[in-house]
Chain A
Amino acid sequence: MIKEWLARGVIILGLVMVISIPAANKWQQSQGIVMHARMAETGGWTPENLTAEVGDPLHLRLTSDDVTHGFAVGQLDQPAVDINPGEMTDITLEFTKPGKYTFYCTRWCSVNHWRMRGTIEVTDPQVKTEPAKPPLYVTLGLNIDADHKASVTPAQMPSAWRGALLSQTVPDAYKSHDYYLAHTPVDLWLALSSEPSLKKLNDQDVWDLVAWVWQSNTSPEGVRTGKQLFAANCAACHGENGAGNGVFADQLAAGSGNTSSNQSMGEQTQRPANFTDALRMLSASPAHLQGKIIRGGMGTGMPSWGAIFTEDQTWALVAYLWTFQFQLEVNP
C-alpha cells in the first residue's frame, strides 16, 4: 500500500541523510589537516609531524579532545591560540625561513604539558639550510651538569640601586657583556674584592656592585618579558616565587631515585631547582643558565626549550631569574 511505502520511505530517507551527511563532512575534513590535542599522557598531538614549504601557507584546524590546550610554534612570530575542548580553531601558518620548527602546547594541561610537542619540517626548494650555531655553553666548554656551589654568599639580598649609589668605577673588563655571559656572580665578587681601587668597600657593598653590573647587562623590557615567560612556562614547576615549590613540584620530586614517577613517560624526574637558593644561583653564569634552559633533560624532568624560545627570549628569561637573587630595579 502507498501509505506503507511512504512511511518506509520517510524512515529510510531520514536515516540515510543523518548518516551520510556527517560521513561526507568527515571525509571532506580529512582532506585538510585536523590537529587533535590531547594531554601528553593520552597521546599529545595527532598528527605529530607536519611538513610545509616556505611561502606556502599551512592551514590547520585545531581541536582539543579533553582539556584546554594552546598552540604556538617555536621561533615563529605567530601569536599563540587557545584550543578549547570540543571546538574547532582555524589557524594559518606562514614560513619565511626553512628549518625544523617545533610546535607546542601553551596552556598547562598536566605535569607533562611541556612534552606536548610536534615538529613542522619546512623546506625551501631554493635555499640551502645553514648549519645551526652551537649554544654559548658549548663554545665556552662549560659542564652544565657538574655540581656547583658558591664559595661566598651575601648576608642580605644585594640591590643594584645601592650599587649604583656607591659611585665606584668598575674596570671595563668586568662590565662587558661577554664577561657577564661567561662568568658567575661569585667570579665577579672575587675579582672586585681583590681590585685595589675598591679595597675600602665591605663585602655587602661589593655584592651590591655585582648586582649593579649584572643589572647593567639586562634591560627592564627584557626582565618584563622574562617574567611573562616564567609565569606561563616555569612557575607551575618552579613555583611562582621561584623556590622550586610549584604545583607539580611534589609529583616531580617523587620521581627521583630508582623508581620513575612518570610511569607514562618512563623518565626519572626530580624536584625543580630553587632559584632563591644563593649557593646554587650565584655559582652559575648566565651561559650556564641559558644552557640548562635550552637543553633541559638528562633525567631531571626539566624541559628543553631550545626549539621553542628565540635566543632573545632565552636571555630575557635568564635576566628575570637573576631577580630572585638581586634587586635589579634601579629606582625602587
Chain B
Amino acid sequence: MTRLQESLWVEDIATEAKDSRSSKNYYIASRVNLYQIPWLHAVLESRWPQFLARAVTLIGFVFTIATGLFGSQVGSHNFAIIMVWVAWWTTLKLGFIPLGGRSWCSICPIPLPGDWLQQGGILVKGERKFGINLRWPKSLRGSWLQSSGFLLIGLFSAVTLTDPHVTGWVLLALFALAIGMSLVFEHRAFCSYICPIGGFSGMYAKAAPVELRVVDKEICAKHGDKSCYQACPWGLYPLALKDSSACGLCMECLRVCPKDNLALNLRPYGSDLGKPKSSTRLDESWLALIMLGSALAFSAVFVGPWGWLKSSAFEIGSLAWMAYAAGFLALNMLFLPALFTLCVWSWKKLSQDRFPLKRLIANHAQGLLPLGLMAWIAFTISFALPKLNLVLVVLNDPFGWGWHLLNIANISKSLDVSGFSPYLQVALLLLGVFWSANVTRKLSRSDGKHNSLPNIPVLTFYLVYSVAMLWLLVG
C-alpha cells in the first residue's frame, strides 16, 4: 500500500503505485496518485459532482451580487460583504490554497458562462460555439496585470470591503469582463492574465501539496492525438507542465486521456520550490514581494490601532488618501523590490556568483513564497476569524430585510479569539520562516563558489519582515 508523506521533516522516499488497469508498476517518487483511489476516481471522472459544486457557486455568486446591490447597506449585515470578504476569503486562504493550490479555480463561478459559451455547452461540448478565440497578446503575458490588479484593489480596499454597493458592482464588473474576454480571446484569458486571485493562487500553488501531472512520459510520446490539450480550457499541455501555477485543476484532461496517463498527485509541501529556474522573468518575483508588502500594509490598516491610517485609506479622493496610496504603492513597487534586490545583490557579491542579477532575483524569489503564504493566513486569522459570527447573521437574513431563514437569535457579539489566535499566528509565521529559510538555503547551494554559506542577506530580509508582521499582529 502507499504511504502518505505530509510532513516537511521526512525526506522524500520513493513509493510504488499500482495501476489496476494496465498492471504496470510505476515508480513515482514521493507522490500519491489520488486518481487511483476508487471512490475519488468515480467522483472526478464524472462531470456531475464538479458541475453541482459549480452550480452552487454560480447561483450563490448571482445571489451575492443581488444582495450587494439591493440589500441593506450596512456591511456587517449584508450577505455580499460577509460571504465574500469573510467566509470565502477565509476558505480561500486557510483551505483552498494551502491544501489544494489553485483548487478554487476549478469551481470559481466567474469564468463559467464564458467557458460554456466557448464550448457551446455545459456538460457536453456543442456544435455551435461562441467566441472569436484570439490569442492573448504576447506582450501582456505573465502575471504583471494580475499583480497590478491586486494593488489596485488594495488602494480601494477600505471602501470595497465595507460597502455592499461597491462590492456588488465590482463583482458584476468582473463577471462581465470575464464573459466578454471569453468571447474575444481563447481559453481562460481572464483567469490566466487578469484575475488577481488567480495570480497569487497560482504562485502559491507551487508550494501546495496537490498537482496534476503526467504519469509516464513515454506513453505521451507515442500518443499522436493530444486529446488532453484539446480538452484543457486553460490552453495548457499537461506533458509540458513544469509547475502547478498555471493549472486550474479542472480535471478535464484527467477525464479525457484515453491511456489514463494523468494523475492527481498528493505531494510534499514545497515540491515546486527550491529548484534553480532557467527563466529570468521577474513578474513572479514582483508578485511574491507585493503579496508580502500588502500583508504588511493591510495588517497595519485593518487590524492596527491607528485610526488616522484607516481614515486615510477610507476617504478616497482626499489628500490623506493620496498620501496613503502613494505610501502603499511605494512600499510595493519601490521599497520592497529595492530591498530584496539589494539583499540578492549582496549575496551575489558574497558568494562571488557569476549568474546575472536578474536571474538570481527570479530564483531567490521562490523563497518568498512560504513566508508570504503564512503571513497571509496569519493576517486572515486576525481579519476574518473574529467576524465569523456574522456569517450566521447573514445566512439568517441575507438582505437585512428581517428574514429568519435559520430561525436563530441575533448573534451580533463578535468572537473573542484572543485566547488562541496569537499562538496560531505565531506558529504559522514560524513555519513560514523555517520553510522559506530552507528553500533559500537549497537555492543558495546551486549558486556561485561559496555555496556552503547561508544566504545571510536574504535571511535577514525574512527576519525583519517576520518581526514586523509579528509586531503588527500580536504585539
**A contact residues vs B (CB 8 Å cutoff):** 1, 3-4, 7-8, 10-11, 14-15, 17-19, 22, 25-26, 29, 61, 63-66, 84-88, 90
Residue on A with the closest CB to B54? A11
A84 CA to B73 CA, complexed, in Å: 12
Residues B76 and A86 in contact, CB atoms below 8 Å apart: yes
Q: How big is the B interface, by class? A: 20 to 34
Residues A66 and B74 in contact, CB atoms below 8 Å apart: yes
Residues B400 and A63 in contact, CB atoms below 8 Å apart: yes
A52 CA to B55 CA, complexed, in Å: 48
Cross-interface CB contact of A86 among B70, B121, B123, B400, cutoff 8 Å? B400
A26-B401, A88-B402 known; A8-B70 Cβ under 8 A: no
Contacts of B412 in A (CB 8 A): 84
Residues B66 and A18 in contact, CB atoms below 8 Å apart: yes
A65 CA to B164 CA, complexed, in Å: 11
Residues A85 and B74 in contact, CB atoms below 8 Å apart: yes
Contacts of A17 in B (CB 8 A): 59
Residues A87 and B400 in contact, CB atoms below 8 Å apart: yes
List 16 A-B pairs, Cβ < 8 Å: A4-B122, A4-B126, A7-B55, A7-B123, A10-B51, A11-B59, A22-B70, A26-B399, A29-B401, A61-B402, A63-B402, A85-B76, A86-B400, A87-B397, A87-B400, A88-B397
A330 CA to B190 CA, complexed, in Å: 80
B455 in contact (CB, < 8 A): no
B62 in contact (CB, < 8 A): yes
- Chain B at the A interface: SS class: loop
Distance (Å) between the CB of A26 and the closest chain B CB?
7
Residue on B with the closest CB to A4? B124
B77 in contact (CB, < 8 A): yes
Complex interface bits, B54-66 against A, C-beta within 8 A gives 1, otherwise 0: 0100110011001
Q: A10-B52, A63-B72, A86-B400 are in contact. List 11 more A-B contacts (CB 8 A).
A: A1-B124, A11-B58, A19-B66, A61-B402, A63-B400, A64-B74, A84-B412, A86-B77, A87-B397, A87-B400, A88-B400
Distance (Å) between the CB of B188 and the closest chain A CB?
19
Cross-interface CB contact of B59 among A4, A15, A25, A26, cutoff 8 Å? A15
Contacts of B124 in A (CB 8 A): 1, 3-4
B410 in contact (CB, < 8 A): yes
The residue among A8, A11, A17, A63 with the most chain B CB atoms within 10 A of its own CB is: A11
Distance (Å) between the CB of A34 and the closest chain B CB?
8
In residues 24-66 of chain B, which contact A (Cβ within 8 Å)? 51-52, 55, 58-59, 62-63, 66
Contacts of A15 in B (CB 8 A): 58-59, 62
A1-B124, A8-B122, A15-B62 known; A86-B55 Cβ under 8 A: no
A204 CA to B84 CA, complexed, in Å: 70
The residue among B121, B397, B403 with the most chain A CB atoms within 10 A of its own CB is: B121
Distance (Å) between the CB of A60 and the closest chain B CB?
12
